[in-house]
Structure 1
Amino acid sequence: MSAMVEEGVQTVTLGKQLGAAGGMMLVMTVVHALGLTGISKVLDLRTEHLKEMSFSLKSISLMSGMGLLLLVLHTVEIGIFAGFYLLINAMQTVEEALYYSASAYATLGRTADYFPSDWRLIGALEALIGFILIGWSTAFIVSKANRLMPG
């Protein structure tokens, strides 16, 4: 009987982790979409504007600004995950939560070592979410850079 109870607890824990990961994916998708929209507006990355611009010091500055703002956006997303880890008491300090989150988000592989076992799956899923968001940012950069190139 205790094995069935233990299995039931693991199922609840797995469901809790998957639900939390799904919620975080939704939050991150919204944050990232808003961030990319904001970056586009702040830097005036409209297609017409980019096509008028030749590849020059100005366009290099624009791309550098985009890179910097994308770094800020990803740092905010890492911070949101770190806040979640503090909220569920998986981490004890802000520095520990930020370090862990940045490591997982950037898919460096530090997941289960520092996580309570009932939440360790969320770290692995943060790596997947981070991978998707970094890929989205890469596609964003490439699409804007292609509009700067003559052709």
Structure 2
Amino acid sequence: MLGDAPPAQLGVQLAASAGLVVSMTVVHGVGLVATSRLLRLRKDRLREWDFGIRAVLLLAGLGLAVFTLHIVEILLFSLFYLAVGAIGSIEEALFYSASAYATLGRTADYFPADWRLIGAIEALVGFVLIGWSTAFMVSTLNRIRE
């Protein structure tokens, strides 16, 4: 049980969690800004578009970019799990990370107790970042429709 973890281990998990939360927030923010610049999602430019095939293609590109951003974040969590020795293979680390990030909730059995707080934090991070991405995409769609 996590309550049975030594205070030093709990402190390490909390510090690592804080570092990962900050890192993922920065990665996501930079990724969305880069996507916005790459796809030239300026408000004045998007208002000129009609909602047609061009807008659909832009939104498809945006969706692909955001999906790729989430895959990168899952990969970064996976690399953390490998680096601390919590999981032994990249395939297991990616599976666990994707399951936690997407908040599937069935991953606790696969993760050592020494690091399971990180998995719970990853679920919270994934939930927030997926919501942020959704808001970004809806905002872009609304600008096209204005």
**TM-score normalised to the size of structure 1?**
0.92
Counterparts of 1:90 and 1:56, CA distance in 2: 48
Other-structure match for 1:143:
139
Shift of 1:115: 1.2
> Could you say which residue in structure 2 is the equivalent of 1:99?
95
Where does the alignment leave 5 or more consecutive residues of structure 1 unmatched? 1-5
Counterpart CA distance in 2 for 1:11 and 1:110 is 26
Counterpart-to-counterpart distance in 1, 2:97 and 2:64? 20
**Pairwise CA distance, 1:39:** 0.5
State the shift of 1:96 in Å. Answer: 0.4
Does the C-alpha gap of structure 1 residues 11 and 18 become closer, same or farther in structure 2, counting only changes over 3 Å?
same
Residue among 6, 25, 44 paired with 1:10 = 6
Q: Deviations over 1:119-141 (max 9, x none)?
A: 11110110000001001001100
How much does 1:15 deviate? 1.2
Q: Matched residues in 2 for 1:142 and 1:129: separation?
A: 20
> Is 1:124 paired with 2:99?
no
Counterpart in the other structure of 2:18: 22
Which shifted more, 104-113 or 124-133? 104-113
Aligned Cα RMSD in Å?
1.3
Corresponding residue number in structure 2 for 1:80: 76
Q: CA deviation at 1:110?
A: 2.8
Question: Structure 2 counterpart of 1:117, which letter?
Answer: A
**Which of 39, 42, 56 does residue 43 from structure 1 map onto?**
39
- The structural deviation recorded for 1:111 is 3.1
2:104 maps to a residue whose letter is L
**% identical aligned pairs:** 55
Q: Which has the larger radius of gyration?
A: 1
Shift of 1:94: 0.4
Query: Which residue matches 2:61?
Result: 65
